Copies of this chain bind each other. A is one copy, B any other.
Amino acid sequence: MGNITKVSPLAPSGFPDLPVIEGVQFATIAAGVKYQGRTDVMLAQLAPGTAIAGVFTRSQTRAAPVLDCQTKIGQKSDQGAAILVNSGNANAFTGRRGIEAVEAITACVAKVCDLPQSRVFTSSTGVIGEPLPFERVTSVIEDAKSGLDAGNIAQAARAIMTTDTYAKGACATVNVGGKSVSIAGIAKGSGMIAPDMATMLVYIFTDALVDQDALQAMVSADADRTFNCITVDSDTSTSDSLIVAATGASGVDASTDSAFRDALHGVMQDLAFQVVRDGEGATKFVEIAVTGAATDADAKLHAMAIANSPLVKTAIAGQDPNWGRIVMAIGKSGAAADRDRLSIRFGDVEVAKDGWRSPSYSEENAAAHMKGEEIQITVDIGIGSGASTVWTCDLTHGYIEINADYRS
């Protein structure tokens, strides 16, 4: 962990000034799970009546805390809730001991915070395959609780970091029926680092009043066009978790409000982009927009094949407008394509049209676009109306350094 000290060149200028969300309080504490000299446990306590929605990794080898959260999400409750996150150990691939650790932590939080255990959600991120020394976590929960404060969300963002080069936060204030509600979220994730899983963890809070089912539907749908549309290296963590909590403290019902939905989307997209911008070794932020595919699902297959292609990603790192590699990625994606109808743009520069190099192609203009920090690749498959946009970063020596050069 100590090896990575340089902040990503794509990082935002600083951590945003997040609004206080009524109905939620945060505490952080150093439990020494693995890291020394920093906080590694985050406790968020939520007011009674908070609606909680979640989206989790689809990995078949999901970690114990994820499996536990999945059994609890969606249950309606008038009671409060808590989220407990530790960094330093992912409690993944830990067999029966993993379940015991989740049980011990959630039981302890439930007791200390006077909540039913079914309302305690926990995530772990860090090394995998090592038993989580859960006593280090449970032994600090009482102390953590005493430090709960509505103003501590920035500290929370820092306590959940593992290989991140910067803390990630985003917020929105939105007018719902003449009244203001707020949304504030934090995230961690950047790829992976030996031997840690760079799990993506995201926690978003709002004081809006949102029906449980409406919140889950909103979050599930939006995750599909934000967090499920980003990729750093095609590798999927065993622990990815997104939890959205609506405390309702504002008294403003936003269950069917489109402005609220848009604002939530904005926060989710902002955090998703921040994860890509902290991608291991990233020097370019890349948007890949595919249109004209047979279906939206086909468009996403094409877009993800491009985004995950090592040859496309290295070409971008090399500032090379190598559209041949885009054609290759489309060809291998498994989705329908017609070579002779493809068009490809880098930024505003049309590089290929109707299956061949564009007559207006200017290598100089294309190369100029590739020199920027933000790369836009637009592909029109030319056979239908399916569309999808995904976001990724380039593949550089930095990725190899982080993942191969240091032994665990």
Contacts and interface: CB of A to CB of B under 8 A. Distances in A.
A364 interface: no
B352 A314 contact: no
Nearest to A281: B400
A235 to B, nearest CB: 5
A238 B333 CA distance: 12
Interface residues of A, number: 71
Interface string A194-207: 11010000000000
B399 A310 contact: yes
A406 interface: yes
Interface stretch (A93-101, A166-174, A265-273): A93-101
B192 A355 contact: no
A233 B327 contact: no
Interface string A311-327: 10011011110111101
A405 B58 CA distance: 35
B404 A324 contact: no
Contacts of A354: 95
A71 B324 CA distance: 25
Nearest to A59: B331
Interface in A293-336: 308-311, 314-315, 317-320, 322-325, 327-333, 335-336
Contacts of A318: 194, 403-407
B315 A404 contact: yes
Interface string A94-121: 1101000000000000000000000000
The A interface, classified by DSSP as helix, strand, loop or mixed, is loop
Contact of A310 (B57, B60, B235, B237): B235
A61 interface: yes
A331 B128 CA distance: 13
A62 interface: yes
Interface in A22-75: 57-62
A339 interface: yes
B340 A95 contact: yes
A300 B237 CA distance: 20
A335 to B, nearest CB: 8
Contacts of A192: 311, 325, 328
A315 B400 CA distance: 9
A194 B320 contact: yes
B400 A332 contact: no
A305 B323 CA distance: 26
A339 B62 contact: yes
Contact of A404 (B237, B339, B395): B395
A407 B336 CA distance: 31
Contacts of A59: 328, 331-332
A322 B234 contact: no
Given A93-B342, A315-B403, 15 more contacts: A59-B328, A61-B331, A61-B342, A93-B352, A93-B357, A129-B324, A194-B320, A234-B310, A235-B309, A310-B395, A314-B403, A317-B400, A318-B404, A395-B400, A397-B397
Top 8 A-B pairs, shortest CB-CB distance: A61-B331, A59-B331, A314-B403, A318-B404, A236-B332, A95-B356, A314-B404, A128-B324
